Every structure is written in C-alpha cells, then in structure tokens.
Amino acid sequence: MGVEILEQSVEKVVATMPVEGNRQSFGLLHGGASLAVGEAVGSWAAVIHASTLGKTAVGVDVSATHHRSARSGRVTVTATPIHLGRTLTTHEVLIENEDGQRLCTMRITNLLLDRPIPG
C-alpha cells in the first residue's frame, strides 16, 4: 500500500499513502484502501497508548464516512485520541488530500488486553 509513518506518539499518529496503486476500477482511491490505512493508523495509535500500560490493543469497532475521493497524489492519515482509557481507546482518523480537503472521517475503538495476543 506504500504507507509511510511520519509521526507517532500517544497524542497523534500521522502517515501518508499514495493514491497510485490503491485505486479501484474507476481510477478513484479505493474506499477499502482508505479503511485499511485508517484502521492501521488508528490501531497503531491505540497500541502506542496500550504499551504505556503494559498492554496490547485489538480493534473492536470501526466506522467511516467517505466525503470525496482522489485520483492522484498522496493522502495524509491522522489519528488523534478521543478517549484513552485503561480498557478501551477511541480515535478519530482523518484522511485528507494534498490540498487539506477531508476525504474520509473514521472512528476506531480498540480493546486493551493485559497479555500479548496468542500467535
């Protein structure tokens, strides 16, 4: 998918992804690619918080609204916390084009677990 992490902390995770290679058959950014990158970035943000508590995180809910699409360039994906608890986290994930226009708004909730996820 070509995702690059630009910034990562408990307060914010920022990544970019090229539209090229992530298009659907009509030449637009694929909605599934938006959801995949948004869930990955939001979950990474939850894992960062969970690690401060000696825990790990797993996704339990994600929802998205697609506002517009893109045909070229790179999108920026930013996850910021709405709630950072001891058992749940919720993050807002914004996907924007190079002009700063909002393409997608997501919300992801992660469950924090006391032990690593079994392999």
Q: Which residues are catalytic?
A: 39
Among 48, 31, 36, 34, residue whose Cα is nearest residue 89: 48
Q: Render 3-51 in DSSP notation, one character per residue.
A: -EEEEESSS-EEEEEESTTSB-TTSSBPHHHHHHHHHHHHHHHHHHHHH
116-119: Cβ within 8 A, 24+ apart: 116/56, 117/56, 117/58
54's enclosing H/E stretch is none
Token output for 88: 């749940």
